[in-house]
Structure 1
């Protein structure tokens, strides 16, 4: 098994909403574990029992994880990007367009000097997404 990296995103009570949005964009299987019913339940105030302790969206080798359980207020910034390497031109256009809904283009999707289609979007949750499709030569 190869070593891989994935993003683990922190949300302030919007994890379920965000992860369902990402599932709508990429497809795949989404698992959500709430605080309620977990070993953490007795250690947490009742007001956050509906929060997401851990979530994972998987589609093939694409893995995105998220949580509402952050030790400090989550601040949106540019310190994290998720790079999605796509398998076709149709896929990159679909993913880029879906994530863009309610978001902002930082770098429009177009062919680049390195021979790939590439674009960057900040989604409506403040997460930066880089999309890349290496065209076959």
Structure 2
């Protein structure tokens, strides 16, 4: 694995407001924002301005943020996940297989349009993991 587990916060349509708030509070720099409308897949007009992925940080401090897609609920307990980046496909597959045992798969391990192999898994203890292997 590369680096550390990165907190990933999910909001219900107010991610942009949260990003502004936290960036100011931590004196952090917004490092990028992509909306669902900018993504390469069909998006309903009412979801176009929602944040699909954003990052802010300062030095080694990094937080990733998104809005839930329309129809997905955001509740205390499912609004925070830990993001891990892997160095190869074998490693991400091994960790994915281990975490899904007696857990719940939110997104199967698969190739994505953002040029990664990605999965979202809730383990048997209720911790949600975003697993990512960026392809070269």
The alignment's TM-score, normalised by the length of structure 1, stands at 0.50
Q: Does 1:76 align with 2:73?
A: no
Q: How does 1:62-101 map to 2 (within 5 A)?
A: 62-70=61-69, 72-77=72-77
| Alpha carbons 2:37, 2:43 under 8 Å: kept | no
Cα deviation digits, residues 6-31 of structure 1 (max 9, x gap): 10011010100011100010112212
Structure 1: which 4+ aligned runs deviate by more than 4 Å? 78-82
CA distance in 2 between partners of 1:14 and 1:78 (Å):
16
Aligned CA RMSD, in angstroms, stands at: 2.7
TM-score, normalised to structure 2, is: 0.51
Deviations 1:93-120 (Å, cap 9, x if unpaired)?
xxxxxxxxxxxxxxxxxxxxxxxxxxxx
The structure number with the bigger radius of gyration is: 1
- Which structure: greater strand fraction? 2
Would you say how many aligned residue pairs link Structure 1 and Structure 2?
80
Structure 1, unmatched stretches of 5+, are: 83-137
Q: Which runs of 5+ in 2 are unaligned?
A: 83-136
Note if contact 2:10-2:79 (Cα within 8 Å) is conserved in structure 1. no
